[in-house]
């Protein structure tokens, strides 16, 4: 698995250096499109996905490839996310930030076999930080094994992504969280939010939409680091199950506490 880790990490680093970073704060207006309300794609997303797709097929030819932009062009691509062996690509996570010329943003890759996440990589192109995990093999930042830790704050620190919820759901989450958590702004970038949960910066995160390119790598990173990500009812996150709602926390203890309050 280490050889696979290094091959994928090298590919991601090359794409970041040659495709993503040269476009950062250097996009023309016509190179940014709005796929849907507040959902952007740039020429860098498209070029990054193409390079990653080609590179991942060379690394593991027997695997399929499911990319965010390919699925945007043809939604049926997502139908096979839970079937067989597949690479999952988020060519630029946090595109809204990237398009606006601000951090954070990242590149995320997952390897999934029949819905079960086998490996995941999260690269911060600006710092070069590579978070990665393998099923049963632990979680790492660069070459150092990492164990998740809570913030230690008197009131747990929560970053709650409620923008895909209904108005009624948002109001209910706000009511439940009031006085129980210190609420902080979300980074609008799962590639940043997941590391915050293992690095002692946030204690709890809530997600409503759970598309695989946003969550496959981060889910494995959390669970392999000793933190916890699961559906709000406590069931595991299985790629391709078409369910909504994920709760992440810096420890199983914190997950149980947050679930009692928020779910």
Of 113, 145, 177, the one marking the end of a domain is: 145
> pTM (2 decimals)?
0.96
- Looking at 145, 177, 210, the residue that finishes a domain is 145
- Does some domain include residue 27? yes
Do 162 and 91 reside in the same domain of the chain? no
The one-digit pLDDT tens for each residue of the chain (263 residues) are 678 999 999 999 999 999 999 999 999 999 999 887 778 899 999 999 999 999 999 999 999 999 999 999 999 999 999 999 999 999 999 999 999 999 999 999 999 999 999 999 999 999 999 999 999 999 999 999 999 999 999 999 999 998 888 889 999 999 999 999 999 999 999 999 999 999 999 999 999 999 999 999 999 999 999 999 999 999 999 999 989 999 999 999 999 999 999 99
Q: Which residues of 69-95 are buried (b: 16+ CB within 10 A; e: fewer)?
A: bbbbeeeebbeebbeeebbbbbbbbbb
Instruction: Verify that 130 and 231 share a domain, yes or no.
Output: no
The boundaries of the domain holding residue 219 are 157-262
Number of structural domains in the chain: 2
Asked if residue 129 and residue 76 are part of one domain, the reply reads yes
- Looking at the fold, whether 53 and 103 belong to one and the same domain comes out as yes
32 and 133 co-located in one domain: yes
Domain boundary among 124, 145, 166: 145
Residues 129 and 171 in one domain: no
Nearest in space to 239 (alpha carbons), one of 143, 98, 55, 108: 108
Identify the CATH number of the domain in which residue 255 sits: 3.40.190.80
Q: What is the CA radius of gyration of the chain?
A: 17
Determine, yes or no, domain membership for 152.
no
Domain identity same for 165 and 94: no
Whether 223 is covered by a domain: the verdict is: yes
């Amino acid at each position: 698995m280490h050889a696979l880790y290094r091959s994928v990490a090298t590919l991601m680093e090359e794409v970041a250096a040659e495709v993503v970073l040269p476009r950062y704060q250097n996009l023309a207006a016509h190179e940014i499109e709005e796929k849907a309300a507040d959902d952007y794609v740039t020429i860098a997303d498209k070029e990054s996905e193409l390079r990653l797709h080609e590179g991942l097929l060379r690394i593991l030819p027997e695997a399929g490839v499911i990319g965010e932009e390919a699925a945007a062009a043809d939604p049926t691509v997502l139908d096979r996310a839970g079937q067989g062996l597949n690479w999952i690509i988020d060519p630029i996570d946090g595109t809204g930030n990237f398009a606006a010329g601000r951090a954070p943003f990242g590149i995320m890759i997952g390897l999934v076999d029949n819905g079960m996440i086998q490996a995941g990589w999260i690269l911060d192109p600006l710092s070069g930080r590579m978070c990665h995990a393998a099923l049963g093999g632990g979680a790492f930042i660069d070459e150092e094994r990492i164990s998740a830790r809570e913030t230690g704050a008197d009131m747990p620190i929560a970053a709650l992504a409620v923008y895909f919820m209904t108005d009624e759901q948002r109001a209910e989450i706000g009511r439940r969280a009031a006085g129980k958590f210190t609420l902080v702004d979300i980074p609008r970038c799962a590639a940043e939010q997941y590391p915050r949960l293992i690095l002692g910066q946030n204690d709890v995160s809530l997600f409503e939409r759970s598309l695989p390119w946003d969550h496959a790598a981060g889910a494995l990173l959390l669970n392999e680091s000793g933190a916890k990500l699961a559906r709000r009812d406590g069931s595991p996150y299985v790629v391709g199950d078409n369910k909504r709602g994920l709760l992440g926390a810096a420890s199983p203890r914190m997950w149980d506490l947050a679930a009692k309050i928020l779910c």
